[in-house]
C-alpha cells in the first residue's frame, strides 16, 4: 500500500484538520465554562494554562492549522504548527490525566503521518551545508 497515495493523504489531512478545528473551537468556546467531569489535576493544570494565556494560544493555533489543513493551504506548514502541540498533548495527558492518553497518541500518529507524507517539504531543514 502506498502511504503517500493522494486520496489517502487528502482524507487524513481533512479529517485531522476537522479534528483540530473542533478541538480549537470547542476549547475557545468553553474556556470560561464549568470544568465538571474533568479529573482534579487536569482542572488545576488547565486553569494555569488559561491564566497564563497559553491555553488561548494553543487553541487558536489548533484552529488556524486545522483550517489550513482542511483548505489544503500550506498543509506541510500546518503540520509543523501542530507538531509541538501534539507532543504537548501526549506529555500533558500522560502526566496529568493518563486516561486521556489515547487521544494524544491519535493526534501524534496523524501528525506523524502528515510529516511522513510531506517529508519532501521538510528535507532541506535537515541538511547540513
The distance from CA 22 to its chain's CA centroid, rounded to whole angstroms, is 11
Q: What is the distance between the alpha carbons of residues 25 and 8, in angstroms, rounded to a whole number?
A: 26
Give pLDDT, residue 72. Answer: 94
What contacts 22, CB < 8 A, 6 or more positions away? 66
52-105 confidence digits (pLDDT tens): 999 999 999 999 999 999 999 999 999 999 999 999 999 999 998 888 889 999
pLDDT (0 to 100) of residue 97 = 85
77/12 Cα distance (integer angstroms):
16
Q: Which three cell numbers stand for residue 8?
A: 489517502
Over residues 2-19, the mean pLDDT reads 90
Q: Which residue has the higher pLDDT, 129 or 89?
A: 89
Determine which helix (DSSP H) or strand (DSSP E) holds 37, and give its type and residue range: none
Q: What's the grid cell of residue 19? A: 479534528
Per residue in 107-127, pLDDT (tens digit) is 999 999 999 999 999 988 888
Please give the pLDDT value at position 60. Answer: 96
| pLDDT score, position 45 | 86
- pLDDT value, residue 63: 97
Amino acid at each position: 500500500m502506498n502511504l503517500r497515495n493522494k486520496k489517502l493523504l487528502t482524507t487524513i489531512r481533512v479529517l485531522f484538520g476537522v479534528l483540530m478545528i473542533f478541538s480549537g473551537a470547542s476549547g475557545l468556546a468553553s474556556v470560561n465554562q464549568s470544568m465538571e467531569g474533568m479529573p482534579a489535576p487536569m482542572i488545576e493544570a488547565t486553569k494555569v494554562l488559561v491564566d497564563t494565556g497559553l491555553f488561548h494560544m494553543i487553541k487558536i493555533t489548533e484552529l488556524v492549522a486545522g483550517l489550513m489543513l482542511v483548505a489544503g493551504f500550506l498543509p506541510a506548514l500546518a503540520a509543523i504548527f501542530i507538531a509541538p502541540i501534539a507532543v504537548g498533548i501526549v506529555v500533558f495527558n500522560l502526566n496529568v490525566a493518563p486516561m486521556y492518553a489515547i487521544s494524544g497518541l491519535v493526534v501524534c500518529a496523524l501528525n506523524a503521518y502528515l510529516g511522513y507524507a510531506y517529508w519532501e517539504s521538510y528535507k532541506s531543514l535537515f541538511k547540513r551545508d
